[in-house]
Chains A and B, each alone.
Chain A
């Protein structure tokens, strides 16, 4: 009852005003943006924070003794603290700025992996991982003679829990798995999986790229060893991301890249490295990106996030019900616990054809394999049409999408 009252008070109209791009016309039709899983749009507040930085605060961070350098450093480090609180981490030194989720995973695979993986060791991932949580592990496994093991995906798009328990063994050195599947929308039971992996002495890395825009994440409660995400899927700029890790693990890891900023002392004979988090932040960082990410967190925090999630679930239910009425529809990803992502195919029609015609009608969806080719192979399909919603989307947009989809199907089935 309380939740319902809250939903009623969420003003999507006023939220939409924060995102000027949403009023774009595409081929003379109003844009319907359902590709939030690929990247979200940015609110004015984020763009204004970046503008403010360049107009009033720009200087290199951690370097100058001058006023502006101090202002820029403060803004940059403030963003780190905002991120720390956002995922409820214990220390701000456990927050490493990266280019994005892909960069974060590569950092862990190359730095932690090179030091800790040995021949015969196993890295465990699931069958629904994004390529960026597959290929970095393949590279390091090949280099270190370790084995990449896969937890199979069930027909409903959830992880096979029995198979997980069978494959996760004392040989498993790390479990790397997504919090939410970008293709299927499945919310994985990561807390239980983390506990189980820990019981086998394996570390756990969570790819949280799809989760942070929707769920409130508490890394202490989850007890994950690494949590990675990107700014651009959570209303922040592109090119900024985060690697959270327990500080004792970060301390034990060698630097990933060398350069300025990450050193304590450099001699030609050898160098010593800076303390956390700077040890992993070689070179001038993406200062505007970090500040933009901080602003995106402020923006999200200006809402009741449970209310946003309830609204997104309402959109998911409504869209699923509407789509379910179409002839020949097949959903991919029907796990009980799902985020606002719908992947589907219409019998006899290639997803690219649907995507092309929807685009002509102003509807932006993603088609293809969504960087999850092994998952597509598992379902024996070339790809899917994926609509992914966020809190600035509306039921009216879903109606436009459904009628455009009906029109596309009519053209393609003629």
Chain B
């Protein structure tokens, strides 16, 4: 599935919620279901410290595609991480580098990517792209 298709799917999923509460309950569920990050990456090297919450992120390349695993100490941040992974995991480095993640805005979660939130998500997206740049010319492991 291309990034556009994935984004459309997420936007559709979110369109059924009639209020903020249903939306956040869903995000919290996504956070709970997020595959835990491998314990060896739960350390300072992979940590992105926000003012509000922290994020751990690790990426690797397989068959030319980039994969991510991530975690956070806050469940809502974790839910949004799950959405970002749903959108970007398994894409080519180029697709990740060029993604604008407009869907976050469309599903009404833009505020979580605002610098005032300082929850580590902006830095996480930057880091995801940096990983993609770094992995672009690296052979798969």
Chain A interface residues toward B at CB < 8 A: 27, 350-353, 355-357, 360, 367-369, 382-383, 411-412, 414
Contact = CB atoms under 8 A, between A and B. Distances in A.
Nearest to A382: B73
Given A411-B28, A412-B28, A368 B51 contact: yes
A360 B21 CA distance: 8
Contacts of A414: 25, 28
Given A368-B52, A382-B54, A414-B25, A353 B20 contact: no
A412 B75 contact: yes
Interface in B53-79: 53-54, 73-77
A31 to B, nearest CB: 16
Contacts of A412: 28, 75
Contacts of B119: 352
B118 interface: yes
B75 A369 contact: no
A353 B76 contact: yes
Contacts of B17: none
Contacts of A360: 20-21, 24
Given A352-B77, A411-B25, 6 more contacts: A356-B76, A360-B24, A367-B52, A382-B73, A383-B52, A414-B28
28 contacts: A27-B20, A350-B73, A350-B74, A350-B75, A351-B74, A352-B52, A352-B53, A352-B74, A352-B76, A352-B119, A353-B28, A353-B74, A353-B75, A353-B76, A355-B52, A356-B76, A356-B112, A357-B24, A357-B76, A360-B21, A368-B52, A369-B51, A382-B54, A382-B73, A411-B21, A411-B24, A411-B25, A414-B28
B53 to A, nearest CB: 4
A411 B54 CA distance: 21
* Minimum-distance CB pairs A-B, first 10: A350-B74, A352-B74, A352-B52, A352-B53, A368-B52, A360-B20, A353-B76, A368-B51, A356-B76, A353-B74
Nearest to A369: B51
Nearest to A407: B21
A368 B118 contact: yes
Contacts of A353: 28, 74-76
A411 B75 CA distance: 11
Contacts of A357: 24, 76
A352 B53 CA distance: 7
